[in-house]
Structure 1
Amino acid sequence: MSESEDTAVDTPLVTPELLANIGRQDQPRREVVTRRDIKKYAISTGTTIPRYLSGDEAPPMFHVPLFWDVVGMDELSADGVSIDKLLPKFPLEKAMAGGLDITYHKPILPGDWLTATRTLTDIYEKRGRSGPLIFYEVVMEVRDDAGELVVTEKTTRILR
């Protein structure tokens, strides 16, 4: 079987209506970075690097919980994940991690005001061993108040 046959899907689940959501952005979110939050994150993740433990610089992945929604239990999906209002309703609902690509453009420091903007950048379909799969990609750009790019994060999720 050729690669194109392997990824072909008999009855497409990704419709033009779903594809019309590509390019959709959520509202920018602005957060301040504090020395205390950096220290708490460093301790909770078990780092031993002094500049992180002192709160002088944020460790890798610090930006992720900084921009997570804080929601009530009634706003979680059946598998305990916050319902992402950026995403359209997909015909498949069981989510799996598909990949995370993070580029750090500059350090995150205490006192930084950061703004994150998330964009749905792609939706596509493939056939897996157990049937059709839908992939979607969301890119988050984090910028400082000078407009400089601090972090770029591309998340890929797989729905089955």
Structure 2
Amino acid sequence: MSELLSAELLTNIGRQSEPRREIVTRRDIRKYAVATGNRQRKYLDGDLAPPMFHVPLFWDVVELDQLTPDGVSIDALLPKFPLEKAMAGGLNIEYHKPIRPGDWLTSTRTLTAIYDKKGRSGALIFYEVVMDIVDDDGELVIREKTTRILR
């Protein structure tokens, strides 16, 4: 165990968010397709959700005072880390089923890892969050793993 990662901090590994359930609408698919430049007819007609559609579907809408100084929303799933300046460390998205209008989707996020490394400019903390999105039959639709780096 490092000086940065206390036993108490590491007990947060495995912590899960409350499940969030959202419905997919044809209108939301079409709006997302236009906003992101996905000009294929299947997206513009709203018959099929384009890649990355799930991201804003499950984003929280928050007030400005609920943002960190660098404009990131405060994530209630995460513990207080001893380092706070965040950087993107990676994103891996596995698509298992297509998303269509009328689908009810439920997401659950899990803090799956916390570890540290020494970088050129000093200590770094890494954490990983996995979001599983399932349909009403309990079948996996998307698995997204986000890695963040704190310095």
Q: Give the TM-score range, shorter chain.
A: over 0.9
Tell me, yes or no, if structure 1 residue 13 matches structure 2 residue 36.
no
Letter in 2 for 1:78: P
1:120-151 Cα offsets, whole Å, 9 max, x none, are 00000000000000000000000000100000
**1:1-160 maps to which residues of 2 (within 5 A)?**
12-160=3-151
1:5-26 Cα offsets, whole Å, 9 max, x none, are xxxx9x5201111110000001
Shift of 1:30: 0.2
Rounded to whole Å, the distance in 2 between the matches of 1:128 and 1:89 is 21
- Indicate the residue corresponding to 1:5 in structure 2: none
Rounded to whole Å, the distance in 2 between the matches of 1:47 and 1:56 is 13
- Equivalent pairs, count: 151
1:32-83 Cα offsets, whole Å, 9 max, x none, are 0000000000000011211011100000000001000011011001011110
Letter in 2 for 1:148: E
Q: Name whichever of 47-56 and 140-149 sits farther off.
A: 47-56
SS in 2 for 1:74: helix
In structure 2, the gaps of 5 or more residues are: none
Rounded to whole Å, the distance in 1 between the matches of 2:52 and 2:7 is 35
In structure 1, the gaps of 5 or more residues are: 1-8
Letter in 1 for 2:109: R
SS in 1 for 2:127: strand
Rounded to whole Å, the distance in 2 between the matches of 1:57 and 1:12 is 48
Identity rate of aligned residues, in percent? Answer: 74
Rounded to whole Å, the distance in 1 between the matches of 2:59 and 2:3 is 32
Rounded to whole Å, the distance in 2 between the matches of 1:152 and 1:86 is 17
TM-score (norm 2): 0.98
Larger Rg: 1
